[in-house]
Amino acid sequence: MSSARVGAARLTTRIKVTRTGDLKDGPRRARPARNMILQGDCVSLMKGLDAESVDLVFADPPYNLQLASKLTRPDQSLVDAVDDDWDKFADFAAYDAFTREWLSAARQVMKPQATIFVIGSYHNIFRVGAIMQDLGFWILNDIVWRKNNPMPNFRGRRFTNAHETMIWAARDAGAKNYTFNYEGLKAGNEDCQMRSDWLLPICTGAERLKDATGRKTHPTQKPETLLARVILSASKAGDLVLDPFFGSGTTGAVAKRLRRDYIGLERDGTYANAAVARIAAVEPLPEEAVATAPSKRSEPRIAFASLVEAGLIAPGAVLRDAKKRHAAVVRADGALSLSGFVGSIHKTGALAQGLPACNGWTFWHYEDKGRLAPIDELRTQIRQSLRAAAE
């Protein structure tokens, strides 16, 4: 039996959950294991989770679309719009109170270095963002999910609604060590920094879950490509991902495939059961395929003097830039001498170019068998030797 099915089984046999999430006729607060789907109200269920236990939160809350009537196409056929009761609120005040309540509960279960993604549309995302700031979250980015196949505006009275917005935030302003897999994202993006506008298709085709009658199981199912980028951006293998509005289980399916753990909270039994079956069919990728890309920031700091002490660069050697316009002499103490100025590899590189700063590791080159090579190659050799010694 899959871990997801085990979770569902525990849910139905150990506790009874009302629509509001109150626990009855069973343990007051059973701590859930990882890789579980819990059915009930997300706020009540989050209060039953361990404080500061979650590494990443992805939340796709109701958007409060405020649809006053049925939507029709020019041929008068009905648009399959979101008109479910869970998306209906009495007024903005009611929606704001709901938003504040679930965000507060989510913040309590986030680790100090955890981050949260909240997705929405123009109907709700600005209200959500203001409440997040009021509660102490620190916004890191707003990310535009630009849809390359959006639904058209049938009445021709507005721009085509072609994007949704995600807010990415740390738990508070003091968070410094949150996960951001910069190197892996950049390597997969043709060695360019990953931008905050993501062009991805909406969920269609075989990925879209459907019931026995062929209707969509969930009206707002998000594409797995979107969740994959979120999870790969801000978590590591083995991290715990929480989704308070689990729906059809996209977060859990992607988390399992990428070797993350998950907890899904969903009050609708039909959605929860569909998610259980969906996740059970997922096979995790090989560990090597999801290992975090090495980060230069996490590597041990190596001083240029260490290269001199190790004999990789001899005192008196001449370093040049790649175009051989500048030359500096290596001193015995690990500093460089450039036209009478003595300083670090960085300061001498900046002086040579007339710039305020410089990365001396990539600017200065040494001669190796007739070719110029950046001194950063020698720093890599030392780091490799340190790793080998540690093993």
How many CB atoms neighbour CB 368 within 10 A?
10
Residue of 108, 61, 65, 116 whose CA lies nearest to 265: 61
Pairing assessment for the beta strands 36-39 and 261-266 based on DSSP bridges? parallel
> For 158, what's the count of Cα atoms within 13 Å in the CB-facing half-sphere?
7
For the chain, 391 residues long, give each residue's pLDDT as a single digit of tens: 344 433 443 333 233 333 333 333 333 444 457 999 999 999 999 999 999 999 999 999 997 765 555 544 455 554 454 555 655 778 889 999 999 999 999 999 999 999 999 999 898 999 999 999 999 999 999 999 999 877 777 677 888 889 999 999 999 999 989 999 999 999 899 889 999 999 998 877 887 778 877 787 767 789 999 999 999 999 999 999 999 999 989 999 999 999 999 999 999 998 899 999 999 999 999 999 998 887 766 678 899 999 999 999 999 999 999 999 999 999 999 999 999 999 999 999 999 999 999 999 999 999 988 899 999 999 999 988 887 777 6
Q: How far is residue 306's CA from residue 75's CA, in Å, rounded to a whole number?
A: 75
Which DSSP helix (H) or strand (E) runs through 145?
strand 138-147
What is the crossing angle of helices 3-14 and 269-280, to 10°?
A: 150
The token pair at 391 is 């093993």
Q: What are phi and psi of 140, to 5 degrees?
A: -95, -40
Measured CA angle at 186 (ends 183, 190), to 5 deg:
140
pTM (2 d.p.)? 0.71
The token pair at 116 is 């949260």
Residue of 390, 119, 74, 368 whose CA lies nearest to 245: 119
Q: How far is residue 321's CA from residue 299's CA, in Å, rounded to a whole number?
A: 25
- Residues 6+ away with beta carbon under 8 Å from 42: 21, 102, 105, 244, 245, 265, 267
139-180: pLDDT as tens digits: 999 999 999 877 777 677 888 889 999 999 999 999 989 999
Q: How far is residue 264's CA from residue 213's CA, in Å, rounded to a whole number?
A: 26
DSSP, res 298: G
Task: Note the helical H segments in 110-223.
Answer: 125-135, 182-187
Contact, 124 vs 66, CB < 8 A? no
What is the crossing angle of helices 269-280 and 250-257, to 10°?
A: 20
CA 330 distance to own-chain centroid: 44
Q: What are phi and psi of 180, to 5 degrees?
A: -145, 110
The token pair at 24 is 């009855």
> For 232, what's the count of Cα atoms within 13 Å in the CB-facing half-sphere?
22
- The residues facing 120 across adjacent strands are 165
318-334: pLDDT as tens digits: 999 999 999 999 999 99
